[in-house]
Amino acid sequence: MTRSLDRLTLLETFVRIAERGSISAAARDLGLSQASASRQLADLEERLGTQLIIRSTHHLSLTKAGERCLGDARLMLAEWEGFAEGFAGDADRIAGPLKIVAPVALGQTVALDCAMAFQAAHPDIVLDWIVDDAPIRFSEVGCDLWLRVGAVPDETLIVQPLAKVQRIVVAASGLAGSVDGDPQALTALPCAALHPFEGGRLPLTGPSGEATNLDARVTFASNSIAATKRVAIAGGGYAVLPRWMVAEELEAGTLIEPLPGWRAPPLTIHAAFAPARRQTRRLRLFIDAMREALAGLA
């Protein structure tokens, strides 16, 4: 084993220990003995001249140097993978792990369908699929890709727009059947709001480009889009939801559009990933597949 490869091996062991929070668990993942994994961690710390992990009887935690090393190590390993792919014997074969964080609604429906189709086309891909609407600390999660609806609050990442989501006002017919296309008529009705996207004032654009701000009487607020949709169906309030998510209910008449032609500001679905001189081919192809899959949501 060359010294350069040995360094990459040490970094891989360190990253796995940091992610698993356990030397023994990381050793099992890597097919090592616990003693061997401990020696590799100690070797890396000796080479870098600093302590990376604080060990206690039942817990491991990263030092400040360890936190910095973790982010850099992930980038170096990803760049090595991207470099090594260019010399693979079978250039058409896509293999390896992909860890994705996706928003809950998309991550259980459209985006998940895309991921399953991608894996079916490339059976050697191993997916780690996490659904979470909350902002994440990318370097701590250690994912390859973060699919995010709305702004990505991390300036260290490369962010690419994938699609825009059209949003409409929907309600149960029994609640909003008499609104008759007048936005201000909704002000007297309860609103089921999805935060943080909605607040007390809701900007709307009409079919001819006219704009208005609706003063919403929020009686139910949630960070769960599924809960907000369920309240709207039950007649607990009108809601602003993605058109793709309520298409079946609109067709069945379970929900109606009390303001036909009016739209809330669209939301952009972004792909966010760590910068690297060479991204792995599997990540590039997955992003392309996701962009194509989400194009129909506009």
Q: Kindly indicate the confidence band of residue 240, based on its pLDDT and cuts at 50, 70 and 90.
A: very high
DSSP class of residue 109?
Answer: T
H/E element, 53: strand 53-55
Q: Give pLDDT tens digits for 44-57.
A: 998 999 999 988 76
Distance in angstroms (rounded) separating the CA atoms of residues 190 and 180: 16
- Domains within the chain, CATH numbers bracketed: 3-85 (1.10.10.10), 98-160+271-297 (3.40.190.10), 165-267 (3.40.190.290)
Distance in angstroms (rounded) separating the CA atoms of residues 160 and 137: 18
Give the model's pLDDT for residue 4: 43
Report CA 141 to chain centroid distance, whole Å: 11
Q: Give pLDDT tens digits for 87-108.
A: 665 556 788 889 999 999 999 9
Question: What pTM does this model have?
Answer: 0.74
**Cβ proximity of 131 and 108 under 8 Å:** yes
Asked if pLDDT for residue 139 goes beyond 80, the answer is no
What's the chain's average pLDDT? 87
Closest Cα partner for 262 from 166, 164, 169? 169
Of 19-28, 73-82, 159-168, where does the model show the most confidence? 159-168
Give the model's pLDDT for residue 90: 57
Q: Give pLDDT tens digits for 190-216.
A: 999 987 666 677 899 999 999 999 888
Closest Cα partner for 259 from 199, 195, 131, 171? 171
Give the model's pLDDT for residue 5: 43
